[in-house]
Structure 1
Amino acid sequence: MSLYLTRFSYTAETWSAMIERPEDRRDMARVIIESVGGRLHGFWYAFGQYDGYTLWEAPDNVRMASVALALSSRGAIKSQETVVLLTVEETLAALKGAAHVPYRRPGSSH
C-alpha cells in the first residue's frame, strides 16, 4: 500500500459550523479511508496556507483518488492537494530505472 499526504483548507462556512459544533474530524477521516481498504496514520491542523494535513495509506491510486474526489465534491473543503509519498526504496528503484529511460534535452544532439 502507498502513503499519501493531503493538505486541505476548509471554507469559511465549514469553520463557522465547527465553531458552533466542535467535532473531532479524525473520526470521519478514519471512516472515509477505511471504506476503501486504507488506514489513517495522522491528522493535524496547522497555521499557514493550509488548515490541515492528513497522512493516509491506501491500496492504490484509484482508491485514493476516490477519497480525494469525494472530499472535494461535498463543499466543505475550499482546496486540497494529495501527494503520493515514495519510500526511500521506491525512490532508489526509480533512480536506477531512470538510467535506462531514453531522454534527450530539447535542442541537444545527445
Structure 2
Amino acid sequence: MPHYMVQWRFTPNNFKSLVQNPDSRVDTVRSGMEPFGGTLHHYYFAFGEYDGVLIAEFPDQESCVAFLSMVAAKGGATAFRTTPLIEPEEGKRAFERAGRTSSNYRPAVT
C-alpha cells in the first residue's frame, strides 16, 4: 500500500483543548484512519512551520484525501502538506526505467 507523510498545523482551538486536556492523539488518529483503510506508522509533534507529522499507509490516494478532508472538516487541523513516499526498491526501478527509456525530451537550458 502507498505510504504518505502528512504534516499539519493545529488550529488555535485545538491547541487550547490540548493544553486543557493533554493527549498524545495517537489512539484518536489511528482509530480515525481505520475506516479509510489507513494504518498509522509514526506520529510526532513538531517545531517550526508545522505542528505535527505522521507516516501512514492508505490503500490509495482517494482514501488518504478522504481521511484528511474529514479531519479538516471537523476543525482539528489545517494547512496539510502531504507527501507520497516511495519505497527504495520502487525508486530504483524508476531510475532503471528512466535509463532504458528513449525520449525526445531535452532541457530548456543545457
Quote the residue 2:93 is aligned against.
93
Distance 2:31 2:102 in 1: 41
Identify which range, 4-13 or 89-98, moves more after superposition. Answer: 89-98
Which residue type is aligned with residue 90 of structure 2? E
- Alpha carbons of 1:3 and 1:107: their partners in 2 closer, same or farther (altered >3 Å)? closer
Which residue type is aligned with residue 105 of structure 2? R
Aligned residues: 108
Identity of aligned residues (%): 28
Quote the residue 1:42 is aligned against.
42
Q: TM-score, normalised by structure 1?
A: 0.85
For the residue of structure 2 that corresponds to 1:82, the secondary structure is strand
Per-residue deviation, residues 47-77 of structure 1 (Å, max 9, x unmatched): 1111111111111111112112212222221
| Bigger fraction of residues in helix | 2
Which residue type is aligned with residue 29 of structure 1? V
Quote the residue 1:9 is aligned against.
9
